[in-house]
Amino acid sequence: MKRSKAEITREYGPFPGTDGVAGVSFDGARIWVATGNKLNAVDPESGETLRSIEVAAHAGTAFDGKHLFQIAEAVIHKIDPETGAILATIPAPAKGGDSGMAWAEGSLWVGEHRGAKIHQIDPETGAILRTIASDRFVTGVTWVEGELWHGTWQEDKSDLRRIDPSTGEVLECLEMPDGKGVSGLESDGGERFFCGGGTSQTVRAIRRPRDSG
């Protein structure tokens, strides 16, 4: 396993009036930030909040190219990002113990926080297709260029780790500085990860090491 320090390249927020950042996604142009009772669309260049959708947003957020998926209490809502309308609802795999979420290859990948697992589920029914085990609390999940990354945050220590999707083996680990946790993770498809910063109410951009793989 390769181990290195996470390099924070930018900090967005703090987004005031919230308890913290619960989930992060990226739709190709905007960062979507789940802050408990709202989804905020943030411009990655200016850092401005462009608009907000009033919707329960308690954990992970994902984007399938057209719709947003958002964990709220013990379910996952499929949301139209333009109107904010909830189009469909499926059960969340950990029944409310869910944390991060990503979309890839026609499936949703949902982190189970204290269960330290990642579930691959059918986005239409919520049925669990398979489960990958980790050894740390999962706080965010993302796929980028065939790599599965997840965030961990346990006992005030936090890191980003790339794991083998078939075995769960940790291949690479980026350690967050002390006191900076990851609550939600999304890649921009290129060099950047966006990480939710928990109760600091921020989103941090982390450089993705390009020589990995």
Of residues 19 and 145, the one with the C-beta less far from another protein: 19
Is 16 a binding residue for another protein by CB under 8 A? The answer is: no
The SS3 assignment for 158 reads: strand
Q: Compute the least distance from the CB of residue 98 to another protein, in Å.
A: 5
Q: Compute the least distance from the CB of residue 126 to another protein, in Å.
A: 14
Indicate which single residue of 8, 14, 27, 36 sits in contact with another protein (rule: CB under 8 A). Answer: 36
Is 54 a binding residue for another protein by CB under 8 A? The answer is: no
Of residues 48 and 197, the one with the C-beta less far from another protein: 197
Q: By the 8 A CB rule, do 60 and 74 touch?
A: no
Indicate the burial class of 188 (C-beta count within 10 angstroms; 0-12, 13-18, 19 or more): middle
Of residues 81 and 196, the one with the C-beta less far from another protein: 196
Stretch of residues binding another protein (CB under 8 A), selected from 7-15, 39-47, 61-69, 152-160: 152-160
Is 19 a binding residue for another protein by CB under 8 A? The answer is: yes
Is 141 a binding residue for another protein by CB under 8 A? The answer is: no
Is 71 a binding residue for another protein by CB under 8 A? The answer is: yes
Q: By the 8 A CB rule, do 72 and 57 touch?
A: yes
Both tokens assigned to 189: 């498809």
Indicate the burial class of 193 (C-beta count within 10 angstroms; 0-12, 13-18, 19 or more): buried
Full strand arrangement of the beta sheet holding 23-26: 23-26, 31-34, 36-42, 49-57
Is 150 a binding residue for another protein by CB under 8 A? The answer is: no
The SS3 assignment for 198 reads: helix
Q: Which residues of 50-59 are buried (b: 16+ CB within 10 A; e: fewer)?
A: eebbebbbbb
Is 126 a binding residue for another protein by CB under 8 A? The answer is: no
Which residues of this protein are in contact with another protein, per CB under 8 A? 19-20, 22, 36-37, 56, 58-60, 71-74, 92, 94, 96-99, 112-114, 153-156, 158, 178-183, 197-200
